[in-house]
């Protein structure tokens, strides 16, 4: 659950998700960077939670961290 709005956590689907062999978690499940040591991590999202997780991973010197966020250019 989203702690702020009370709605269910949203995890977007991805074209390669079915062939992806790694772990997929929502930021609400992230506790710390210890379980990510030596891994390549991709964070998808533009919210504060995505930023916080990225900062934790970088601070704790996890292998590789990539953060992706889409940008709306308006209509």
Structure tokens belonging to residue 61 = 């010197």
- The domain spans of the chain are 27-68
Please state, in angstroms and rounded to a whole number, the distance separating the CA atoms of residues 8 and 74: 27
* pLDDT band at residue 39 under the 50/70/90 scheme: confident
pTM of the model: 0.68
Distances from the Cα of 20 to the Cα of 9, 13, 52, 68, angstroms: 21, 12, 24, 17
> Does pLDDT of 35 surpass 70?
yes
Q: How far is CA 1 from CA 18, 29, 68, in A?
A: 24, 10, 22
Tens of pLDDT, residues 57-69: 888 878 888 888 7
């Amino acid at each position: 659950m989203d702690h702020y709005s009370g709605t269910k956590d949203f995890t977007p689907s991805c074209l390669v998700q079915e062939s992806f062999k790694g772990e997929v978690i929502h930021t609400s499940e992230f506790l710390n960077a210890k379980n990510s040591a030596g891994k390549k991590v991709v964070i998808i999202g533009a919210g504060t939670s995505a930023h916080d997780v990225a900062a934790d991973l970088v601070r704790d010197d996890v292998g590789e961290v990539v953060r992706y966020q889409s940008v709306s250019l308006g209509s």
